Structure 1
Amino acid sequence: MRTSFLFLLAVPILFLSCGCSSNTMSAPSLRIQAAAVNQMDDSTGSHLSQDIILGRDLLFTPDYFPLIEGKRIAIMANQTSRATVDRLIDDKRTSLIVIFSPEHGFSGADAAGLHVSDSVYRSIPVFGCYGGGDATRRIPLSLLKNIDVLLFEVQDTGARHYTFISSMYLAMDSAADASIKFVVLDRPNPANGCVIEGPVLEKEFQSFVGVGRIPVRHAMTMGELANLFRNESVIMHGPRYPREKETDEYWNVGTLDLVTIPMKHYEREKSWDDIYGPGKWIPTSPNIPGALEAMMYSGTGILGANTLCEMVPGFRKFCAISLPFVSTGEKLLAFIDAAKSVYDFPGMLLSPALNPETREENVIVLEVVDISICRPVASTLALLYVQRLLYPDAQFFTTSEAPGIFDKMTGASWVREELMGKPLPPFYFMLERMRREEAAFENVRKKYLVY
């Protein structure tokens, strides 16, 4: 009877994969940037076989160097952008005054959630912009009073809950407060810049793991996101946090003097490994050692508050999960079969494995065989759904505070409410609601695609 029920729940679902050939824009500044990209492409002819040129490389060309020449410069950077920092220090025509570092620090070695201490790099002060409270995550205006331009170059993962997006947004707001130019040196979205996936953040769940009303996978570069955040600031964000003073009710990002230096030869449908080849990723944090982990983090990374565990010793991070309520190979295979009946897990193979810690057969390996069609968010929600379906009495959240954390990670209370529903609704209800939210976001997103 259960097998028949599961089969009825299995439905094909179309996920939004948009914008791969669109350069449609509305904001005047974006038209100028798009024209600049097209001019560069025209001057070189077909670029399909050429290496990608990052925004940081174009910064030192005649078209963009006036932005920093003779200026007092600050930069938000980490280990992924150290080459840019070194070049700014070594170039006698520029004056780098201060470095700001996001979560994990300038070295990228700090564990998740740890306070980032101030330090010094090659005689340049490094101010940590991540700590125990919102106030320690903003750039203090006192550190920008003698700055002319604030650069931003940090490699992101493409997931809303990875905090580099939030650090960029707070830096944008500080630059607007200080009335200085903010320049984004653009980089690729490592999964690809086409696939939109996951619930759109609801305003009441705005936090440092969800600063704007975007899906879990937004399929945009940081430069595109910066333009989206500035021009859609009214609908993207809730009340300002933290406030510099009691009268600070709203963000100032809408007034920001923003420049995005686009990449050259970037093709948004390509993943990181398509662009650079395997093994070329600089770890963005201790738990994201590769581009595959960066992509999978968008899905299994939401499990931090759940009893399903996404960090299994002996397996690639975020690429395997353990099920503490399963202890035998027979039950594990039944769980996998049920999951495949509920959802087709595109681009992914599910395999059983032995837990090296408990010696129990309770690990599911999530092997990505086609990153272009892989859907880590929907796949993760499907596994949570099957837990509720087969083990409704098993502990679902780790603590009493965990449901609130889960809501912040998914960005929407309806996900938890659907999963905890009695009776449990069909899984395709969740997929269909995500599809509607993804489509609505695409209508906003498409105006800001540069590539």
Structure 2
Amino acid sequence: TGLDSQGRSTVDILSHAPGVQLIALFSPEHGLAGRNDEKISSAKDPATGLPVHSLYGETLRPTDEMLKGIDALVFDVQDAGVRFYTYTTTMAYCIEEAAKRNIAFFVLDRPNPLGGEIVEGPMLDMDKTNFVGYFPLPVRYGLTIGELAQLFNAENHIGADLHVIAMKNWHRNYFFESTGTRWIPPSPNLRTTKGSVLYPGIEILQNAGVSVGRGTETPFEEFGAPWLNGDEVAAALNERHLAGLHFAAKPFIPIVGLYSGQRCGGVAVRITDRYRVRAMSMGMETAIILHRLYPQQFDPEKLLLLIGNSDTIQQLQSGTPAEKIVASWSADLTAFDQIRRKYFLYK
């Protein structure tokens, strides 16, 4: 996903740059091109002949052997702006390994597709850090990947020789469309900017047995299950009058993934005003409705891995109204907002 405005890859640019010897490539969860949806094996890049070291296979971190002879690591990957999207963890692990070996680390900054103003969702509990949650952040953290690298390096006391190459002309109120550049899907299912806006609130449902549209034409723009009545759920969500959103029944049959080949009662999500959308509020409302209507099929406890906050799960299980759950995040979000502002590179 590292391409310039003319569609030329960073790999190609660096391999022809004067004074630069490109000696290895590293691939995150979805591979160099963002097209894989399974574990990645290390391989050789056909264009350059260079080794491609997988950081989503036998290891999640670069090893001594992988880093041999390297003076600098360059990270150029489009992020999703969501805590559990694993590219940020891969970046953080690479920063840590670079710091241990006195290797300089460069981040070529890219837009946060969700903008840089809004933060939402619960904070990750301190005891729940893992590959889908490297550091205590809210689900939507409102930082670019470069700003986030600075936060990780300082707040997690990594101490790497970190250099962020800032963008020109990006502003915090920009969604991706505002940049005028073409959306390159950073992973197979994050195909559209609309899907990226809805992703944080839809993706959390999958571990509880809800298809989030993987295996359809519009992943993260719909959700469903064989046991779900789309008309019933869409009506219940529309009664909540969620800002910037409208819901409609839409059955679907995934061709791969969860419920592959099965007809799912589904709900399509339409964005009417992306600036007003609060995807995590939508996710809470949806989880509450599914738990109320289908208590035997939908267990909020299974949302814990991605939500990463035990108090939020307990509130969902006890039937706490969504607005109260969202309000319970307020103090943590205010404190985080003060921290993140120290690392702003853009206005």
TM (norm. structure 2) is 0.90
1:143 aligns with 2:66: yes
1:109 CA drift (Å): 2.0
1:178 aligns with 2:76: no
SS at match of 1:95: coil
Aligned partner of 2:52 among 119, 126, 129: 126
Counterpart of 1:204 in structure 2 is 127
Aligned partner of 1:218 among 141, 146, 155: 141
1:153 aligns with 2:50: no
Counterpart of 1:258 in structure 2 is 162
Q: Is the 8 A contact 1:192 1:372 kept in 2?
A: no
Q: Is the 8 A contact 2:301 2:317 kept in 1?
A: no
1:450 aligns with 2:337: no
Name the CA distance, whole Å, in 2 between partners of 1:102 and 1:80.
16
Name the CA distance, whole Å, in 2 between partners of 1:204 and 1:286.
30
1:144 CA drift (Å): 2.4
1:368 aligns with 2:271: yes
1:118 CA drift (Å): 2.5
Name the CA distance, whole Å, in 2 between partners of 1:231 and 1:285.
28
Q: Is the 8 A contact 2:250 2:268 kept in 1?
A: yes
Counterpart of 1:271 in structure 2 is 175
Name the CA distance, whole Å, in 1 between partners of 2:338 and 2:2.
35
Amino acid at match of 1:316: T
1:225-264 equivalence runs, <5 A: 225-233=148-156, 253=158, 255-264=159-168
Q: Is the 8 A contact 1:129 1:137 kept in 2?
A: yes
Q: CA RMSD in A?
A: 2.1
SS at match of 1:137: coil
1:36-435 equivalence runs, <5 A: 80=3, 83-111=9-37, 113-120=38-45, 121-131=47-57, 136-233=59-156, 253=158, 255-276=159-180, 280-311=182-213, 314-327=216-229, 332-341=230-239, 343-356=240-253, 362-392=265-295, 394-397=296-299, 403=301, 406-421=303-318, 424-435=319-330
1:209 CA drift (Å): 0.5
SS at match of 2:34: coil
Which structure would you say has the larger Rg?
1
1:207 CA drift (Å): 0.8
Name the CA distance, whole Å, in 2 between partners of 1:209 and 1:420.
22
SS at match of 1:419: helix
SS at match of 1:100: strand
Q: Which string of whole-angstrom CA distances, capped at 9 and with x for unpartnered residues, describes residues 108-149 of structure 1?
A: 2211x42343222412221111125xxx01011233242211
1:291 CA drift (Å): 2.1
Q: In structure 2, list runs of 5 or more residues that go unmatched.
A: 254-260
SS at match of 2:9: helix
How many percent identity over aligned positions? 31
1:107 CA drift (Å): 2.7
**More deviation in 158-167 or 408-417?**
408-417
Q: Is the 8 A contact 1:80 1:155 kept in 2?
A: no
Name the CA distance, whole Å, in 1 between partners of 2:216 and 2:69.
49
Q: Which string of whole-angstrom CA distances, capped at 9 and with x for unpartnered residues, describes residues 50-101 of structure 1?
A: xxxxxxxxxxxxxxxxxxxxxxxxxxxx565762110111123211111111
1:191 CA drift (Å): 1.6
Amino acid at match of 2:170: Y
1:315 CA drift (Å): 4.5
Name the CA distance, whole Å, in 2 between partners of 1:390 and 1:84.
49
Name the CA distance, whole Å, in 2 between partners of 1:105 and 1:299.
25
Aligned length: 335
**More deviation in 123-132 or 201-210?**
123-132
Q: Which string of whole-angstrom CA distances, capped at 9 and with x for unpartnered residues, describes residues 252-294 of structure 1?
A: x1x21111111111112111112126xx211111111222222
Name the CA distance, whole Å, in 1 between partners of 2:276 and 2:286.
18
TM (norm. structure 1) is 0.70
Amino acid at match of 1:89: S
